[in-house]
Amino acid sequence: ETGVTQSPTHLIKTRGQQVTLRCSSQSGHNTVSWYQQALGQGPQFIFQYYREEENGRGNFPPRFSGLQFPNYSSELNVNALELDDSALYLCASSLYGGRGEKLFFGSGTQLSVL
Amino acid sequence: DAKTTQPPSMDCAEGRAANLPCNHSTISGNEYVYWYRQIHSQGPQYIIHGLKNNETNEMASLIITEDRKSSTLILPHATLRDTAVYYCIVRVGLNNDMRFGAGTRLTVKP
């Protein structure tokens, strides 16, 4: 148990729709990172939020956006869903403090786009 | 694109040490090496990380070569519950851009 919770656990959407995924970080952590994991592959970094601002982004289009709230919880929003967006979406929280940070992952949200 | 190379799979006998290798020949001087593992349908679990020196914690030991181009994760007494995909990762930059590769699928056998 990492203390990082994600909701919902599973979600089914159709192409073109929009989706919001939620993450509650571990107590004491101030940074949230989001990852996408396609079937059979390792997770890919989407972006990171610190102090309610995005401060790092991977190779994902602008239709992937996020928010971080004052209590450090976070949302991932994906607009105009495509079939390739079907994946496990992982949230990880950490305490921002340089290169030695440890990430604590939630169990993820399994998104299926039909 | 991952900065690490790992064997796709390994087997280990229960109770024996599991030694998982990783190559990271393009690592920069200030980039950390992290190890995580992922058991089916769960999020990755942090194991250990290091920069230059060998590290040990309650889960594992990390041996980093002097030139930092490779490392080995050691699980001293593998159990069936250690069966998982193990990721060796180099953290790029100051944010949590962790470049996961395909990992090593470790199977611990009775």
Q: Does B19 touch chain A (CB under 8 A)?
A: no
What is the identity of the amino acid at A89? Answer: Y
Q: What is the pLDDT of residue B30?
A: 81
pLDDT tens profile A40-97: 899 999 999 988 999 889 999 999 999 999 988 999 999 999 999 999 999 999 887 6
CB < 8 Å to A105, chain B: 43-45
Q: What is the pLDDT of residue A1?
A: 67
* Residue of B30, B87, B95 with shortest CB distance to A48: B95
- Residues across chain B: 110
Q: Does B35 touch chain A (CB under 8 A)?
A: no
pLDDT tens profile A27-44: 888 899 999 999 989 999
Q: What is the pLDDT of residue A49?
A: 93
Q: What is the pLDDT of residue A100?
A: 64
pLDDT of A98 above 60:
no
Strands (E), chain B: 9-13, 18-23, 33-38, 45-50, 55-56, 61-64, 70-75, 84-92, 97-99, 104-109
CA B22 to chain centre: 7
Q: Are A85 and A34 in contact (CB under 8 A)?
A: no
Instruction: Quote the CA–CA distance of B75 and B68 in Å, as a whole number.
Output: 20
pLDDT tens profile B52-104: 889 999 999 999 999 999 999 999 999 999 999 999 998 877 677 788 888 99
Min mean pLDDT across A10-19, A91-100, B10-19 is at A91-100
Token output for B57: 């914690």
Question: In 10 A of CB B72, how many CB atoms?
Answer: 16
